[in-house]
Structure 1
Amino acid sequence: MTYTLKKLFMLIVIISLNACGGDSSSESNDKKDNSNKSEQVTTNNHAFNITVNDGLAPLLINQPDATEHLSAGLGTTNMVDQNAYSQAIEAIVDEPQLDAVFKAGDHTFRSNHDGQGPLFNNSSCQGCHIKDGRGQVPSTADEAMSSMFLRIGDSLGNVEPTYGDQLQVFGTINGRSGGVIAKYRGALDEGLAYGEAYTWVEYERVTGTFSDGETYELRKPIYKIKDLAYGDFIDDVQFSARVTPHVYGSGLLESIPQQHLLAYADPTDNNNDGISGRPAYTSHPVSGEKQIARFGQKAVTGSVLQQIAGAYRGDMGVTNSINSAEPCTDAQTACLAQAERENNKHHNGVDLNDVDLAQVEFYNRTLAVPKRRGFDVSTQLWQEEILAGRAQFYAANCHSCHVPRYKTAQAPGSVLGDVDLVSLSDARTNIIALEQQVIYPYTDLLLHDMGGSCVVSKELIDGQSCNEGEQCIYVQRCEGLADGRPEGEATASEWKTPPLWGLGLVQTVNPKATFLHDGRARSIQEAIIWHDGEAKASQQAFINMDKTQRTALLAFLGSL
């Protein structure tokens, strides 16, 4: 297939939308007002104005775009079964050399690696990102976390001095197959690299009622940690549970112009709508250049390469040229000793060579996004319930964080260089398949305060307090979505808005998958009800909907 690139004309589009719950015939910008902009447009006595140089017509509330069923433009796949998240963008498939690199990256993504450990959470990328989608919460307390984990630190954002910034539940001990789970003081008393700690989650049931009288039930997580292999945590320890997110569409998100994301930021809530999204920044891992952070659940990495390189080191214990240090802290002598026994560092002193790393980066960047459901291509008509749910989405102001639409710009090649099946070159050829695509990811990639707070205690199995010893368990209870642990530029209650595209296929791809950053929500409905902080008004709008309206909104979200 041949694709003709059209030059992007820089057109200033003033896009207006009406207030939350307003008339459905008004136009919508992709989000909300920024008071530092000029020429405000007033609709129904509420001023909104956003200047976007993408050349697109205003996004309407009462009528979807003609291409809205194509979630990622030409980066959309028609696959909507259990393999929906694992497809290459068609333009990549049509180029044999690029398709070969995609397949090579796919193979590496699914493979175990020499030099893994001494500490890790899973042995492959695919083991965490199940079928390139979400991980899952263990079904029982006896099942070790393998596609979710706990980050760790203190309430000020510092790493835990003994355990670092992430608890790895498996260790590597010579002569023992597979990962070895934690043993209380095992690393200290035996000098062996056991997993750092055993972690699990229990749930408290929370019930509530919609305004029409229908009841609902939520799961409130309680995180527990035992069998600390390297001794006690610091007194001010905090934990952050993370279920592995999906990876499809990453290259398209990376190709959204930075200025378009910044246009939606309103960190001091100048327009007084209660929503104050703000960007987080990070340093480019090679150049050191400051860049907006787009990846990670608290927005800590700025590129696909930075994200996967960090995951290789932190999640699998696989060092690479971007993250060359083993996942051991200076206090973990057993881990350091095991690292010295690794005898397979053949790639300039690291476990993963740059060819493999670049292939996995390319694979991640060129995974397609599933098409929308509920649209009849032959008639060009949407199902009425989905249209009604789309209107409810805007009426509840969900789009103020889950911004529907962008147009991608340039997609430079990897900083590692162009990769083929066996080597890297100094060239950096743009990935044309990612460029100039109108996409509908439903995210602003900004940080938002979702409210809540956390308390960590030390308890015996029966709930009595304790101070130390093998039977003394660390327990974290939180109100709301907070985790108590700042990370990067995010506070203890801030999270990056996750993209919603592909949302309706989460449990088609992985029937055991659940929702939100920690997997507490068993359904999309539960995920909405957990929203608080800046999203409280939208959550209350959902609570106040009648059954028909709620059903329509959920149908819309399920179509994404």
Structure 2
Amino acid sequence: MRCLGSPAENSRSSAWVSAISRRSRRSKTASVRRSTARAARSATACRRSGARASWRKSGRRAETNAASSWSSYRSRARCFRPIPDEVLLALDDADDRDGDGISGRAAIVTDIATGHRRVGRFGWKAQQATLLAFSADAYRNEMGITNDLFPDEVAFGITAEQMKLCDRIPDPEDKPDRRTRRRAIDNFESFMKFLAPAGRGPIDDAGRAGEAVFGAAGCASCHVPSLQTGPSPNPLFNRKVVPLFSDLLLHDIGTGDGISQEAASPQEFRTPPLWGLRLRRPLLHDGTAATVEDAIGLHGGEAASARGRFLALPADRRAALLAFLKSL
């Protein structure tokens, strides 16, 4: 951006900045509105499941008497308890006490929404402990929409004065709706919470045999087949077995990206869940694996032994294992 020059140049520059600012405001406002509209139905489902809100109808409108978005969040937190921290802490083996070469560790992070220390489980580095924090993080870092959990713009190499030229919307940009007291990040949280996981694909005899090979090869040491949610008054989440195929712990398998994030070191990643694997390509955090075989071949570190066992499998047992993975 040119800030100095002839009056004509400065005039053109000011007009350009003004146009960019208008487009930026319209884009961000539209983005928040679209997100809110898409997630509203999911948010309603959560409210009906037991969150404390008092509703009164006026024509076709329903208004909530929730005191604030913060108290609304705490109410919803009581009606939704995901996989408890204790389950993940029980899997923690950072010192490899059992000597199997696997030293997964729980990512202890501060939940930015509550200030409590929790086990992280969302994100490649398990950097967030709750869906609300994950939602707020994505809004700011992926879409550039600040919120009260992440109120500051990400502006590498740009001064505050330069930022004001192109973004004149006061931060935080995601503000509670006047009627519902819900932010867009609250609606996005509800939208993700009520998304059904991908169902299991077709599985034949080879795939069923491959599940046993999966365990024998040591894959299940990190890709734990299932975990269980905690107690919840909402039957959708109450003590449900989740076929996640992940321990949600941090591991070093030799594919580090050199980035430290929250509790994760530059070499560590959270074990990626394998449910829905058949629908995802490419694989790994940087997309360097085009196929399941490629991804397994890139495993090292804690997973080197499992990779070696996979590569040593007879052709029929390897085919069975791949058939199992392609059914997930």
User: Per-residue displacement from partner, 1:510-560 (whole Å, max 9, x unpaired)?
Assistant: xxx311111111111111111110000011111111222221111101111
Taking a change above 3 Å as real, the CA distance of residues 366 and 553 of structure 1, as seen in their structure-2 partners, is same
1:271 paired residue among 98, 104, 113: 98
Deviation at 1:359, TM superposition (A): 1.4
Taking a change above 3 Å as real, the CA distance of residues 547 and 332 of structure 1, as seen in their structure-2 partners, is farther
Q: Comparing both structures, which one devotes a greater share of its residues to helix?
A: 2
Taking a change above 3 Å as real, the CA distance of residues 495 and 270 of structure 1, as seen in their structure-2 partners, is same
Taking a change above 3 Å as real, the CA distance of residues 352 and 328 of structure 1, as seen in their structure-2 partners, is farther
Aligned to 2:125, the other structure's residue is in SS state: coil
Equivalent position of 1:341 in the other structure: 168
Equivalent position of 1:437 in the other structure: 240
User: 5 Å matches for 1:217-228?
Assistant: none
Taking a change above 3 Å as real, the CA distance of residues 388 and 313 of structure 1, as seen in their structure-2 partners, is same
Equivalent position of 1:403 in the other structure: 224
Deviation at 1:339, TM superposition (A): 5.3
Q: In the alignment, is the contact (CA less than 8 A) between 2:107 and 2:249 conserved in 1? A: yes
Aligned to 1:535, the other structure's residue is in SS state: helix
User: Per-residue displacement from partner, 1:309-336 (whole Å, max 9, x unpaired)?
Assistant: 0111011110112211122258534652
Equivalent position of 2:196 in the other structure: 368
Aligned to 2:103, the other structure's residue is in SS state: coil
Q: In the alignment, is the contact (CA less than 8 A) between 1:404 and 1:443 conserved in 2? A: yes
Counterpart Cα distance in 2 of 1:352 and 1:542: 51
User: 5 Å matches for 1:20-59?
Assistant: none
Counterpart Cα distance in 2 of 1:330 and 1:484: 21
Q: What amino acid is aligned across from residue 114 of structure 1 in structure 2?
A: T
Equivalent position of 1:292 in the other structure: 119
Considering only aligned residues, what root-mean-square deviation do their CA atoms show, in Å? 2.5
Q: Does 1:449 align with 2:252?
A: yes
Deviation at 1:505, TM superposition (A): 2.2
Counterpart Cα distance in 2 of 1:314 and 1:505: 25
Deviation at 1:370, TM superposition (A): 2.2
User: 5 Å matches for 1:167-186?
Assistant: none
Deviation at 1:113, TM superposition (A): 3.5
Aligned to 2:118, the other structure's residue is in SS state: strand
Aligned to 2:302, the other structure's residue is in SS state: helix
Q: What amino acid is aligned across from residue 321 of structure 1 in structure 2?
A: D
Counterpart Cα distance in 2 of 1:349 and 1:308: 15
Counterpart Cα distance in 1 of 2:221 and 2:246: 9
Q: What amino acid is aligned across from residue 282 of structure 1 in structure 2?
A: V
Q: In the alignment, is the contact (CA less than 8 A) between 2:81 and 2:230 conserved in 1? A: no
Equivalent position of 1:387 in the other structure: 208
Aligned to 2:109, the other structure's residue is in SS state: strand
Taking a change above 3 Å as real, the CA distance of residues 410 and 332 of structure 1, as seen in their structure-2 partners, is farther
Counterpart Cα distance in 2 of 1:116 and 1:505: 27
Aligned to 2:95, the other structure's residue is in SS state: coil
Deviation at 1:115, TM superposition (A): 8.0
Aligned to 1:492, the other structure's residue is in SS state: coil
Taking a change above 3 Å as real, the CA distance of residues 445 and 335 of structure 1, as seen in their structure-2 partners, is farther
Counterpart Cα distance in 1 of 2:239 and 2:87: 14
Aligned length: 253
Taking a change above 3 Å as real, the CA distance of residues 367 and 392 of structure 1, as seen in their structure-2 partners, is same
Counterpart Cα distance in 1 of 2:167 and 2:191: 32
Q: What amino acid is aligned across from residue 440 of structure 1 in structure 2?
A: P
Taking a change above 3 Å as real, the CA distance of residues 349 and 355 of structure 1, as seen in their structure-2 partners, is closer
Equivalent position of 1:324 in the other structure: 151
User: Per-residue displacement from partner, 1:408-442 (whole Å, max 9, x unpaired)?
Assistant: 1135xxxxxxxxxxxxxxxxxx5431222112100
Counterpart Cα distance in 1 of 2:220 and 2:88: 14
Equivalent position of 1:170 in the other structure: none
Equivalent position of 1:183 in the other structure: none
Counterpart Cα distance in 2 of 1:349 and 1:272: 49
Q: Does 1:358 align with 2:179?
A: no
Aligned to 1:482, the other structure's residue is in SS state: coil
Counterpart Cα distance in 2 of 1:390 and 1:371: 17
2:87 paired residue among 247, 257, 260: 260
Q: Does 1:113 align with 2:11?
A: no
The runs of at least 4 aligned residues of structure 1 exceeding 6 Å deviation read none
Counterpart Cα distance in 2 of 1:278 and 1:393: 22
Q: In the alignment, is the contact (CA less than 8 A) between 1:278 and 1:448 conserved in 2? A: yes
Counterpart Cα distance in 2 of 1:404 and 1:540: 21
Taking a change above 3 Å as real, the CA distance of residues 533 and 349 of structure 1, as seen in their structure-2 partners, is closer
Equivalent position of 2:297 in the other structure: 529
User: 5 Å matches for 1:462-541?
Assistant: 481-506=255-280, 513-541=281-309
Deviation at 1:258, TM superposition (A): 1.3
Q: In the alignment, is the contact (CA less than 8 A) between 2:174 and 2:184 conserved in 1? A: no
Q: In the alignment, is the contact (CA less than 8 A) between 1:503 and 1:558 conserved in 2? A: yes
Q: Identity of aligned pairs, percent?
A: 36
Deviates more, 1:305-314 or 1:432-441: 432-441
Equivalent position of 1:417 in the other structure: none
Counterpart Cα distance in 2 of 1:254 and 1:530: 35
Counterpart Cα distance in 2 of 1:341 and 1:358: 24
Q: In the alignment, is the contact (CA less than 8 A) between 1:254 and 1:304 conserved in 2? A: no
Q: In the alignment, is the contact (CA less than 8 A) between 2:174 and 2:183 conserved in 1? A: no
Counterpart Cα distance in 2 of 1:254 and 1:292: 13
Aligned to 1:281, the other structure's residue is in SS state: strand
Q: Comparing both structures, which one devotes a greater share of its residues to strand?
A: 1
Taking a change above 3 Å as real, the CA distance of residues 349 and 482 of structure 1, as seen in their structure-2 partners, is closer
Counterpart Cα distance in 1 of 2:294 and 2:237: 33
Q: What amino acid is aligned across from residue 373 of structure 1 in structure 2?
A: G
Deviation at 1:116, TM superposition (A): 7.0
Q: What amino acid is aligned across from residue 535 of structure 1 in structure 2?
A: A
Aligned to 1:114, the other structure's residue is in SS state: helix
Aligned to 1:298, the other structure's residue is in SS state: coil
Equivalent position of 1:555 in the other structure: 323
Taking a change above 3 Å as real, the CA distance of residues 356 and 431 of structure 1, as seen in their structure-2 partners, is farther
Aligned to 1:556, the other structure's residue is in SS state: helix
